[in-house]
């Protein structure tokens, strides 16, 4: 009994400390395939095979009650601590190569996600791509602003130079 309570407490803490939770069914995957999946998402998430009953209790303790219907059959959860988009993409890509992995849904930003919403999450651009695009846009704006500020100075310098040359040739 104490072991189950410890497991529930640990799972509840993982629910609380995760930025997102993505629920999968892994029936038919080999141990080697599960190991590969864990390595694939290790930078942004931990992937754990869970007991449904204990997971339901832990989720409720963490204030999440929307996963109950999804917790049927052999379940494994990706507890996301990094970028949820990256993990969703990795799960989607792994499921394409290994159809035995089924993404059932999840929980993100205080809301439950069904399988189609997890797919939509996977189609978003990662945080790094969005930041790179933003940096590029800022750089382009700064370049444009610098050009605008320098253009009148350059025109003024050319006008002064032209006046100087006219005076030298006319004198």
Q: Which helix (H) or strand (E) holds 31?
A: helix 31-41
Q: What digits encode the pLDDT tens for the residues 56-115?
A: 888 888 888 878 788 888 888 999 988 888 899 999 999 999 888 888 988 888 888 888
For the chain, the structural domain boundaries read 2-124, 125-171
**Rounded CA gap, 9 and 12, in Å?**
5
Q: Which CATH architecture has domain 2-124?
A: 2-Layer Sandwich (3.30)
The rounded percent of the chain whose pLDDT value lies above 90 is 5
The alpha carbon of residue 46 and the mean position of all alpha carbons in its chain are separated, in whole angstroms, by: 14
């Amino acid at each position: 009994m104490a072991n189950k309570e410890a497991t529930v407490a640990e799972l509840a803490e993982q629910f609380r400390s995760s930025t997102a939770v993505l629920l999968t069914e892994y029936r038919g995957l080999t141990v080697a395939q599960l190991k590969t999946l864990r390595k694939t998402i290790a930078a942004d998430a931990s992937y754990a095979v869970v007991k449904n009953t204990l997971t339901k209790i832990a989720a409720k303790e963490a204030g999440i009650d929307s996963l109950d219907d999804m917790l049927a059959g052999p379940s494994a959860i990706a507890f996301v601590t990094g970028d949820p988009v990256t993990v969703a993409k990795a799960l989607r890509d792994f499921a394409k190569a290994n159809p035995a992995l089924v993404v059932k849904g999840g929980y993100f930003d205080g809301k439950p996600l069904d399988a189609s919403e997890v797919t939509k999450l996977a189609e978003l651009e990662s945080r790094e791509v969005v930041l790179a695009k933003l940096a590029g846009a800022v750089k382009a704006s700064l370049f444009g602003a610098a050009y605008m500020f320098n253009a009148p100075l350059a025109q003024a310098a050319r006008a002064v130079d032209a006046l100087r040359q006219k005076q030298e040739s006319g004198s």
